[in-house]
Amino acid sequence: MPTLTAPNMTLSRIKEILDDFLYKQILRRIFLLSKLGQQSILGEASTGYNFDHMYENKPEGKFLIGKLIDRVVLNFPSVQATRTRKKNIIKILSDEIENLRILNKPIRIIDAACGASRYMIELNDMYRDFDCEVIGVDYDRKSLKLGSLLAQRYRINESQFRLVKGNVFHLEHLKHLGVKINWRPNIVVASGLIDYLDDDKIRVAFTEVYQGIENGGLFLFSSQESNPSRKLMEKICRTNEGPWIIRYRKPAALRQWLLETGFRDVVIGKDKWNMYNLCTARKVTR
């Protein structure tokens, strides 16, 4: 443990040293025994397959102790909120799909930053008899591979569900994809994407979604306002790019940007942990 006897050591510096020792030397070693902890610490924190482990909610780890630690981590409020987000996304999309079916319209969904796209696969399984096509776009090959395996497990037809490797931080490719496959989405989902974008890039992304989505189409995305595990994430969890840093935002800013872009019928809901804001907006042109 580092010495604390330096003559000019301040209380805040002492606290910082103790915090670093606790998180980086003690908690890091404990969490490395669990599957979720190991993936989050070793650069895979933001990947789709890491989130899929949260969704599946089946503890794994090194030996019995690792499995027990994973069970504890999977019950963190932030992880519970992530599973609740998935359930709420499925509920919102189910309502929209039912409305489109009654109006005798095809369902065309693009899921940007889809990861393994488990919630889309489950949704497609629920509506496999409908005229429903889903395209998931993500940059991580491992997540896409897991998504393909999940689709096979659910016996989802490739004509109904496709995964495409692409950089979702440049959403203009969604417009080109729509031209290539000869359809425009009437639903665009971006779960977790904007948490990693700065304000200017979010405005650009909103504009690109607005231009690419069909008139009357629904835009659904999530954004984090806070996170009960924020300190743990920033101290020891890592992505491929470095520390796991989330950009937290109040819903008022998101609402303003959506309306300025041209979206209407903006609805923003918050979970009981005050972590995720789930936002829906509709393209309405006159």
Residue range 108-144, pLDDT digits in tens: 999 998 999 999 999 988 988 888 899 999 988 999 9
Q: Looking at the structure, tell me whether residues 103 and 242 fall in a common domain.
A: yes
Total structural domains within the chain: 2
Q: What is the CATH classification number for the domain harbouring 191?
A: 3.40.50.150
pLDDT above 70: residue 178: no
pLDDT at 179: 62
User: Tens digit of pLDDT for each residue in 55-78?
Assistant: 999 999 999 999 999 999 999 999
pLDDT at 183: 80
Specify if 6 maps to a domain: no
- Give the torsion through C-alpha atoms of 129, 114, 283, 89, to 10 deg: 70
Q: Looking at the structure, tell me whether residues 70 and 116 fall in a common domain.
A: no
Q: Looking at the structure, tell me whether residues 102 and 211 fall in a common domain.
A: yes
pLDDT at 12: 82
Q: Looking at the structure, tell me whether residues 124 and 266 fall in a common domain.
A: yes
pLDDT-derived band of residue 169, with 50, 70 and 90 as boundaries? low
Return the axis-axis angle of helices 48-56 and 141-153, rounded to nearest 10°.
40
User: Tens digit of pLDDT for each residue in 227-264?
Assistant: 999 999 999 999 988 999 999 999 999 999 999 999 99
Specify if 3 maps to a domain: no
What does the block give as tokens for 259? 């309306």
Name the pTM for this structure. Answer: 0.89
Q: Looking at the structure, tell me whether residues 35 and 158 fall in a common domain.
A: no
What does the block give as tokens for 218? 């629904």
Q: Looking at the structure, tell me whether residues 142 and 276 fall in a common domain.
A: yes
pLDDT-derived band of residue 176, with 50, 70 and 90 as boundaries? low
Q: Where a domain ends, among 51, 78, 105?
A: 78
